[in-house]
Chain A
Amino acid sequence: MLKYIIKRLGYAVLTLFIVVTLTFFLMRSIPGDPLASMARGLPEQTRANFYAKYGLDQPLFTQYTMYMQNFVRGDLGESVVFPGRSVTDTIKRTAPVSGLIGGISLILGFAIGISLGIIAALNKNRWPDYIVMFIAILGVTIPIFVLASLAQYLFSVRLGWFPSSGWGDLRHLFLPVAVSFFGPIASFARYLKSSMLETLSQDYILTAKAKGLSKRAVILKHTLRNSMIPIVTILAARIVAVFTGSFIVERMFGVPGIGFYYISSINNNDYSMILGTTVFYAALFIVAQLFVDFIYMMVDPRIRVGS
Chain B
Amino acid sequence: MKFKKYLALFTILALTVVMFAGCNDSATPDPSNGDNGTDEGQMDAEQYINTYLVSDPTTLDPSLRSDTYSSTILVNTLESLVRMEERDGDYYQNRGDAETWEYNEDGTVWTFYLGDNKWEDGEPVTAHDYVYSLRRSSNPATGSPNSYFLTPIVNFEEVNNGTLPVEELGVRAIDEKTLEITLTNPVPAFLSMIDSTVYYPQRQDKVEEWGERYGSEAQYTISNGPFKVDSWTPNSSIILSKNENYWDAESVSLERVVYNIMTDETTYYNAFESGQIDFVGTGRTEWLERFQQRDDVNFNSYTSATITYSFYNSRDDLFQNENIRKAFTLAIDREDINEVAFSGLRVPTYGWVVPTISVGNTTFRDAAGDTILEMKAELEAEGLTSKDLLLQGMEELGLGDDPESLNVTFSLAGTDDWFRTLGEYLQQVYREELGVNIEIDFSEWGIFYSNVTSGNYQIGFMGWGAYYNDPYDVLSLFVSDQDMIETGWGNDEYDALIREAAKEMDDEARLELYIQAENILLRDEMVVSPLATSRVNQFVKDYVHNYSTLGFSNMGLKYVYTSGR
Interface residues in chain A, defined as those with a beta carbon under 8 Å from any beta carbon in chain B: 30-33, 35-43, 45-46, 48-50, 52-54, 78, 81-85, 90, 93-94, 149, 152-153, 156-157, 160, 163-168, 250-257, 260-261, 269
**Interface contact A83-B59, CB-CB below 8 Å:** yes
A82 to B276, Cβ gap below 8 A? Answer: no
A residues in contact with B477, CB < 8 Å = 41
Chain B 257-279 interface 0/1 with A at a Cβ cutoff of 8 Å (1 = within): 00011111011001101101000
B235 adjacent to A38 (CB under 8 Å): no
Interface residues of B in 431-478 (CB under 8 A from A): 445-447, 449-451, 453, 477
Which stretch from B82-90, B211-219, B514-522 is at the chain A interface?
A: B211-219
Closest to B214 in A: A84
Q: Is the CB of B64 within 8 A of A43?
A: no
When distances are taken between beta carbons in the complex, the residues of chain A under 8 Å from B145 are 35, 38, 40, 42, 46, 50
Among A35, A43, A85, A167, point to the contact of B148 (Cβ < 8 A): A43
3 tightest Cβ-Cβ pairs between the two chains A and B:
A32-B446, A84-B216, A53-B143
Specify which of A38, A83, A163, A256 lies most central, judged by the most chain B CB atoms within 10 Å of its CB: A83
User: Using an 8 Å CB-CB cutoff, how does the interface string of B39-70 with A read, 1 for contact, 0 for none?
Assistant: 00000000000000000101101001011000
A163: which B residues are within 8 A, CB to CB? 271, 274, 276
**When A32-B447, A167-B237, A254-B236 are in contact, do A84 and B59 touch as well, CB less than 8 Å?**
yes
Contact A255 B236 (CB under 8 A): yes
* A32-B449 Cα distance, complex, nearest whole Å: 7
* Closest residue on chain B to residue A33 by CB atoms: B446
Contact A156 B59 (CB under 8 A): no
Among B263, B264, B271, B447: residue with most chain A CB under 10 A = B264
Stretch of B99-107, B248-256, B480-488, B532-540 contacting A (4+ beta carbons < 8 Å): B480-488
Which residue of B has the minimal Cβ distance to A260? Answer: B235
- B445, A39: Cβ atoms closer than 8 Å: yes
B447 and chain A: residue at smallest CB distance? A31
- Would B236 and A81 count as touching, CB distance under 8 A? no
Q: How far, in whole Å, are A30 and B448 apart by their CA atoms in the complex?
A: 12
Q: How far is the CA of A83 from the CA of B260 in the complex (A)?
A: 21
| Count, A-B residue pairs, CB within 8 A | 161
Most buried by B among A43, A46, A54, A260: A46
Partner of A165 from the list B147, B260, B482 (CB cut-off 8 Å) is B260
Query: Residues of B within 8 Å of A, CB-based: how many?
Result: 55
Interface residues in chain B, defined as those with a beta carbon under 8 Å from any beta carbon in chain A? 1, 56, 58-59, 61, 64, 66-67, 140-145, 147-148, 157, 160-161, 212-217, 220, 233-237, 260-264, 266-267, 270-271, 273-274, 276, 445-447, 449-451, 453, 477, 482, 484-486
A-B contact pairs, 21 of them (CB 8 A): A32-B446, A35-B145, A39-B449, A49-B140, A49-B141, A50-B145, A83-B216, A84-B61, A84-B213, A84-B215, A94-B235, A149-B266, A149-B270, A153-B270, A156-B271, A165-B262, A165-B276, A166-B260, A167-B237, A168-B233, A251-B267
CA distance in complex: A254, B260 (Å): 8
Q: Given that A49-B143, A93-B234, A156-B270 are known contacts, is A84 also in contact with B447, CB under 8 Å in the complex?
A: no
B236 & A252 in contact (Cβ 8 Å cutoff): no
* Residues on the B chain within 8 Å of A46, using CB: 144-145, 147-148, 160
Asked if A164 and B66 make an inter-chain contact with CB atoms under 8 angstroms apart, the answer reads: no
Pair A81/B58 contact, Cβ less than 8 Å: yes
Contact indicator A43/B266 (Cβ below 8 Å): no
Q: In the bound complex, how far is the Cα of B234 from the Cα of A261, in angstroms?
A: 11
Contact A254 B235 (CB under 8 A): yes
Task: With both chains docked as a complex, state the minimum distance between the C-beta of A172 and any C-beta of chain B, in angstroms.
Answer: 9
- Rounded to whole angstroms, the CA-CA distance of A84 and B220 in the bound complex is 10
Please tell me which one of the listed residues B58, B161, B212, B233 contacts residue A45 in the complex, with CB atoms under 8 A apart: B161
| Chain A residues, CB < 8 A from B67 | 38
Knowing A41-B485, A46-B145, A54-B143, the reply to whether A78 touches B271 (Cβ < 8 A) is no
Question: What chain A residues lie within 8 Å of B59 (beta carbons)?
Answer: 82-84
**Alpha-carbon distance between A160 and B144 when the two chains are bound, in angstroms:** 45
B234 close to A85 (CB less than 8 A): yes
Residues of chain A lying within 8 A (CB to CB) of residue B140: 45, 48-49, 52
Query: In the bound complex, do residue B148 and residue A82 qualify as a contact, i.e. CB atoms below 8 Å apart?
Result: no
Judge whether B266 and A252 touch: CB under 8 Å: yes
B143: contacting residue among A30, A50, A254, CB under 8 A? A50
Among B237, B446, B453, which residue has its beta carbon within 8 angstroms of that of A30? Answer: B446
User: From A81, which residue of chain B is reached at the shortest CB distance?
Assistant: B58
Given A157-B270, A252-B264, verify A38-B66 contact (CB < 8 Å). yes
- Which A residue sits closest to B156, measured CB to CB? A45
Cα A111 to Cα B115 with chains together (Å): 66
- B66 and A165 form a contact (CB under 8 A): no
A160: chain B residues within 8 A (beta carbon): 1, 274
